[in-house]
Structure 1
Amino acid sequence: MDRFQSRLLLWGILGAAALGGSAVAQLPTPLAVSERTPADYLSLRELPLFAPDRRAPKKFEPVEIPAPVVVEPPAEIEIAAEPEVEFTPPEWELVGVVRSTRLVIATFRAEGAEGAFSLRQGESRDGWTLADVRGSEVVLDGEGGQALIRFRSLQ
């Protein structure tokens, strides 16, 4: 039921009650425009359709939106640089590699020394431990880091 019909029904009920009739038993039937009286348009006269102060009925109560919360970014944390450890890889020359299912050995010659020496995987010399043998290169772990030594012909 639209707004006009609901108002018409209300006026019909009020009119019937004023005349002493039963409002429940007599429901008004819609009238043609030619059959209406000026009293039927009373609501339009009281509040014209295009009146500047006329507003649509409020359907929702306005909701107060809280102010946005401003979150300050955390203070920058300075990470202290790790003290640089002087790293000098060993001055060894890789002269041989043995890889088998049982053994992993690398043979080196130290600069200025007459003979060669060998290290098995996990053994150490002068603070350097043979960590891995990868084909034509070896990885040594030392206190300052890792060193990679290749055969001289491949460098």
Structure 2
Amino acid sequence: MAKGFNKTPEIIKELRKWSGIKGKIGILGDGELATIGAVQEFGATIKVTDAMRGYLASQGLFLRKETNSIEIPERSYIRSTLDDRNTGEAMGKSAKDADSLDGKQIMSVMCATAVGRIQKKMNSGVGPGLSDFTKEQKGSGLSLVDTGRLRNSISYEVVG
């Protein structure tokens, strides 16, 4: 091996910087927003109760007697954003730009980049589109943003 080409010490130093460090991205915790977020991310089948039937009727949506459940379609905003190649590239660039920081700080910068991209995706709307009834109730056709609470609950935590 030619002198000056042994990168092993640098690689080992870099790997030690990252040892055991993980980033958690999403709606952290187990409250109401986490439940709403999970329903939107993965979809859900909700059993229709008499109370729900009555409420929906009071809002102008009359369900058939044989309707026993309502389907909330999957609107993946976290997984689809993190799976997007552009998000990975943006996270990599943010890590490269922060290379003077320690491993936890770099992970924090990368996670913050991902959170911003998830929130941006939510602002642009995620399909499938909303039903006409839901659009009328919300006053808009934007699928994942109503008051902004769900979008603003997207955060991250660095552990390790």
Is TM more than 0.5 here? no
Which one has the largest radius of gyration? 1
TM-score, normalised with respect to structure 1 = 0.21
Bigger strand share: 1
Ranked by relative contact order (alpha carbons within 8 Å, sequence separation 6 or more), the top structure is: 2
Bigger helix share: 2
TM-score, normalised with respect to structure 2 = 0.21
